[in-house]
A and B are shown apart, each in its own frame.
Chain A
């Protein structure tokens, strides 16, 4: 953990749905999720006005929306088909490319881009968080997180099979998989190695 500004990244919590009581307060932060500190009326100028939900950060719910997993699968399938249509790529190359491009896109959109593309009424709590860290307000092991962790693994297995476990392909695919699996570990929540992408 790169030390300073500890309050910029809230610590994580587990999905404690089995234990009763803690409905939304499972992030384990010292302040409850919906902050019970007072908000000056002047600061809350645009809060949730004209919206049809009371969700503070809609980004946290996008990956749980209806049909988005299917859309994701279709998109990966489309990528694969487009790569397959390029005549001078052999099958192993196509699979490795699918794997690599998918992991690269996932790394950029889930683990590099920070904040939200719209203003949120949470006064910038999520500005330093990547989309992965924002999902479900930092709750770990939710179903969307599991889905997004498993999909690169499935692609990796398929790619390994179709490349016939060739050494060069193996190295590339494994490196790519590691690059996209490590940031998903709960231990890496909010971690910024060497200060890269911190602010």
Chain B
């Protein structure tokens, strides 16, 4: 790619050992010495002070070691073969069949249950099902109470023993700022509003469901984000899925990140626009798509696209990666596309004053055309918002499906958001921002575990959600237990050596996300 003089936001791909090819340092990109660290995995996109980033931004994801990958496939292979065996036994009634089947009389009709599509559910998921859908019976704060359940038929059914496992360290809730509690100013304010307004609104925004609290909340959200106006919705998922169709339609192009959330994907598909996917956080891929879109236009007619909308998220919850917002904005300005930023996880949690990923990079909120976010995570409430220019929000008030058909947000929830947002604005909203589940539960820690097919086949993950409500003691306990479990299950795959923190001057001005 021919480099542009100054301000180019794409860079040459690095060689596998991290070195840039000879003579290709351009535009002020400094070859970082840490980039050449001989980590076993490949290094993706290490950048330093490109002029777009005000501070060094270092995000590195290691690839799985080959041996582990091969063993994972072997494991899946063995489980698949056993699955076939068990299905065979169940079919010939040698083994009892627990799942739903059609009645004998209906066997000749077109099948009601796609048996093969439930293969993984029946044979893999059922074995380890007790790690998911655990019922909790307390506020999901730093610690949570879980109802104990036992299964006597290998997880096909559960019985509650009546015990409650108390004080489980909660690393699975999106309680980033610790607002999920049942005591304190937020709760009192919400209780007051509940007494005054009741729990339900019983109408949509466009009919009788527009309360003064909605206006107050929207003004506050707009002020918080630094945009002209904002509009709130009762459900975060519905914010995405119902508003993207209002913004784009047939003849438009959506460029969506690989790892975008289901709500964004659904909204994009409902809109009827053409969807093209770029590799996760990969600016070269995005730029190539933009160039091709503008040069070639729509597929058969070659007409120019009516609109090009880039869909990205602030933080991708399953990867833990932060979007390269300065580069995305530079690209969007260069190619005159629109940007839709979903800050579900990053609002409240990133940035010196908690205003999200725009604040984190020190950028201008006006550069992002549509700022979307949810109140479910950092604010401990429910619902979502969209912020942007006044014309945009006015348009959405009339054209959004949520505004027209969905009931508006409930008053106590709004009060919770108002109180928590005022809390964040009033004080520093910094947060810690950032085989297995069962062992962790044994050690009283709750995490979220995901595997194939929800992740690529060799990339199952356990996700830890840190919260401002976690005290240092809790985190120390958690780290100790994670360390133990990691050793026990041989899960420590990173080949990086741990550098003691004192060796390097570490201050709040670096973005370092991993130790090198």
Binding site for B on A (CB under 8 A): 20-25, 32, 34-39, 41, 44, 47-55, 58, 61-62, 65-68, 70-71, 74-75, 113-120, 124, 127
Contact = CB atoms under 8 A, between A and B. Distances in A.
Nearest to B70: A71
Contacts of A48: 262, 265-266
B259 A52 contact: yes
Contact of B266 (A35, A44, A75, A116): A44
Contact of A25 (B77, B117, B260, B299): B299
Nearest to B123: A117
B20 to A, nearest CB: 24
Contacts of B276: 23-24, 34
B357 to A, nearest CB: 19
- The secondary structure that dominates the A interface is loop
Contact of A65 (B74, B119, B270, B456): B456
A52 B73 contact: no
A54 B312 CA distance: 13
B299 A54 contact: no
B64 to A, nearest CB: 6
A8 to B, nearest CB: 14
Given A52-B259, A115-B116, A39 B269 contact: yes
Nearest to A46: B262
12 contacts: A21-B292, A34-B277, A35-B269, A36-B250, A37-B272, A48-B265, A48-B266, A53-B456, A65-B457, A68-B69, A116-B116, A117-B117
Given A32-B299, A117-B117, A51 B292 contact: no
Interface string B466-479: 00000000000000
Contacts of A49: 262
B241 interface: yes
A23 B99 CA distance: 41
B455 A51 contact: yes
Contact of B319 (A52, A58, A113, A117): A52
Contacts of B454: 50-53
A35 B452 CA distance: 24
Contact of B114 (A66, A70, A115): A115
B274 A65 contact: no
Given A36-B273, A54-B265, A127-B114, A62 B457 contact: yes
Most buried by A among B241, B257, B268, B276: B276
B259 A53 contact: yes
B323 interface: no
A63 to B, nearest CB: 10
Interface in B248-274: 250, 256-260, 262, 265-266, 268-270, 272-274
A20 B292 contact: yes
Contacts of B250: 36
A54 B277 contact: yes
Interface in B292-338: 292, 295-296, 299, 318-319
B289 interface: yes
B272 A118 contact: no
B120 interface: yes
Nearest to A115: B116
Nearest to A74: B70
A138 B259 CA distance: 22
Given A39-B270, A54-B260, A71-B74, A66 B455 contact: no
B315 to A, nearest CB: 13
B453 interface: yes
